[in-house]
Amino acid sequence: MTSVNIAKTSADNIDINNLPINSEEYKINDWLIKYKKSHILHSQCSTTEKCADSTYPPCPFCMFTNSLQLPHLPEMVFPNNVLSLTHSSGVQIEFNALDALKLVSNGELALKVSYADAWKESRDPSNLMEKIKPFDWTFSTNYSGSFSGPLHIESTEERIDIERLKEREKILFYQELMLFEDELHDNGIASCTVKIRVMPSSFFILLRYFLRVDGVMVRINDTRYFHDFSTQYILKEYTNRESPVQRLHVPLQMFGDPNLIGPHLPISMGSYEKLSWINSVTKDTGPALTT
């Protein structure tokens, strides 16, 4: 089922809450899969008087800035882009921009990102004060999703069968959502995306943070989810890959495509987990889990 909700807006005062939101849901076996997709976040408060009054809910811009307290947000944030999967047991997995950006280091931690000195040396010193911020200006995040419901998480030796994913199987549902993106003052790119594909036998999700700082380094944080519908668990794999540019002896065009450059980046860290649940008949209503 697909629905598009459209409301009339004023050209002088557009409220992002009233902008068109495209949404779709897909039901398969014990899963309800939904996505929402809409416009980017405003660059400033759209309802100043209401946001100054605590009796009103804040606009999306104020909600993001108040929750994150970063010196500034990425150039493009998609507050209404959400992918969620709900199981009949009550387990829910969701992917959204706010939770992803909550894991970006801000000024309170006084942390300097890796390769910052190399980046500074490669820039024009006349305008570095604008480029170097007292927080992780690459918006690096190891966000791997938001969980709730009776979910049990444990380490596992089992791995996602990549060869199985290469097999030709009918795709019943597919969607890709951008959560945020920033061009790092024209010195590279940082982006966070999530995509899902559903087949008759399984579903596969890839949540990816991609960073390229021109002339300095490349980083890819990938979280993969795979669920075979014949099982009562999901395999989750998180990997952090990164490398200085000078160690990557690859064609220049590869640097713009994470699918091409990714295999050339060494794995710095990886974790492998099994997410399981009790079926809907005897489900447990335990505490919510969020990461």
Average pLDDT over residues 19-48: 89
- Asked if residue 57 is part of any domain, the answer here is no
* CA 39 – CA 61 distance, rounded (Å): 12
Number of domains in the chain: 1
pLDDT(181) > 60 = yes
Nearest-10 Cα torsion for 102, 110, 41, 5: 0
pLDDT confidence bin for 7, thresholds 50/70/90: very low
Top pLDDT among 5 and 65 is at 65
Structure token pair of residue 144: 């791997």
Write down the pTM of the prediction: 0.82
Residue 155: give the domain boundaries. 82-277
Top pLDDT among 135 and 145 is at 145
- Asked if residue 25 is part of any domain, the answer here is no
| Region for residue 137 given its phi and psi (left: phi exceeds 0; alpha: psi -120 to 50; beta: otherwise) | alpha
- Asked if residue 185 is part of any domain, the answer here is yes
- Asked if residue 120 is part of any domain, the answer here is yes
pLDDT(261) > 80 = yes
Residues in the chain: 291
Q: Which of 229, 228, 210, 208 is nearest to 219 (CA)?
A: 210
Average pLDDT, the chain: 84
Quick check: 247 and 257 in contact, CB under 8 A? no
Q: Which of 92, 225, 86, 91 is nearest to 150 (CA)?
A: 91
- Helix (H) / strand (E) element for 243: namely strand 233-244
* CA 249 – CA 69 distance, rounded (Å): 39
- Asked if residue 133 is part of any domain, the answer here is yes
Q: What percent of the chain has pLDDT over 90?
A: 62
* CA 19 – CA 8 distance, rounded (Å): 8
* CA 45 – CA 65 distance, rounded (Å): 10
Q: What is the DSSP string of 166-227?
A: TS-----EEEEEEEEEE-TTTTEEEEEEEEEEE-SSEEEEEEEEEEEETTTEEEEEEEEEEE
Residue 155: per-residue pLDDT: 97
- Asked if residue 37 is part of any domain, the answer here is no
Quick check: 117 and 128 in contact, CB under 8 A? no
Residue 42: per-residue pLDDT: 86
Quick check: 101 and 70 in contact, CB under 8 A? yes
Helix (H, G, I), strand (E, B) or coil at 270: strand
* CA 71 – CA 110 distance, rounded (Å): 13
- Asked if residue 189 is part of any domain, the answer here is yes
Going from the C-alpha of 30 to that of each of 26, 86, 280, the distances in angstroms are 11, 8, 9
- Asked if residue 172 is part of any domain, the answer here is yes
